[in-house]
Amino acid sequence: MSFESAPTRSNGIGEVVITARSFEEYKAMFALSPDDLTKRILDCPGGAAGFTSEGNSRGGDVIACDVAYSLHTANELAATAEAETDRGNEYVRAHSHDYVWEFFADPDEHQHVRHRAVQGFAADIRRNPNHYVAGRLPSLPFPDSSFDLVLSSHLLFSYADRLDHAFHLDAISELMRVTRDEARIFPLVPVGSSEPYPQLDGLLEELDSRGITARIVSVDYEFQRGATHMLVCRH
């Protein structure tokens, strides 16, 4: 995924997972309205999610950005994402008590939905490689105000054991640089925890000093236990 950092302590999942969440998960995680889906959207880090593929197939304007896109061919990405989906599912099965089984009925459905998202991603990156841009936070290859809405899923806050406070501040500032309006970040809970990122209050104050107004917003989605809020940032 889109960062450089040496691990400091383990959250139990190991290296950052190249995730493959579905379009429906994105809608729920980020409380996306029909109007939101008409905007020019950046998904960063995009991983192997199905959001870009399905969003554009529905008439949207979505770009995904991830460092992984510079490291692998489309075929390699597809194979890696399939393996990573299984690795993530193994973690979920081993820690099933840490998850709420409502959005997904059980680990089997979780694995099926994620594999289907990988398949959509793999087909789309072959057909439309221009929708997938290589980039690494906290320095993205886009001009200022390139997008109306930026979505960032399961990197910031999720990997707080290896991404320090300064990285979070710089990464969010960079996400805001490339949007003319708003960025949404989900979740606020690290992997392996049900409690919010411990330095969140201080981070919000520092963002405010940079002219970024951030508020915590509840969403109608919970898979990782306790992960029920997103951070909404505006200029």
Using DSSP bridges, classify how beta strands 147-153 and 229-234 pair: parallel, antiparallel or unpaired: unpaired
Interatomic CA distance for residues 87 and 84, integer angstroms: 5
Q: Assign domain 23-234 one CATH number from 3.40.50.11540, 3.40.50.2000, 3.40.50.150, 1.10.287.3510.
A: 3.40.50.150
CB under 8 Å to 73, separation ≥6 — which residues? Answer: none
User: What pLDDT does residue 126 have?
Assistant: 95
Torsion of the alpha carbons at 176, 22, 98 and 171, rounded to the nearest 10: -20
Pairing of strands 213-218, 229-234: antiparallel
- The domain limits of the chain are 23-234
In the sheet with 132-133, reading across from the earlier edge strand, the strands are 132-133, 61-65, 40-43, 147-153, 179-186, 229-234, 213-218
**Which residues share a beta bridge with 62?**
41
Rounded to whole angstroms, how far apart are CA atoms 111 and 20? 10
What's the CA gap between 227 and 229, in Å, rounded?
A: 6
- Predicted local distance difference test score (pLDDT) of residue 100: 97
pLDDT (tens, 9 = 90+) of the chain, 235 residues, equals: 333 322 333 444 345 668 899 999 999 999 999 999 999 999 999 999 999 999 999 999 999 999 999 988 889 999 999 999 999 999 999 999 999 999 999 999 999 999 999 999 999 999 999 999 999 999 999 999 999 999 999 999 999 989 999 999 999 999 999 999 999 999 999 988 999 999 999 999 999 999 999 999 999 999 999 999 999 999 9
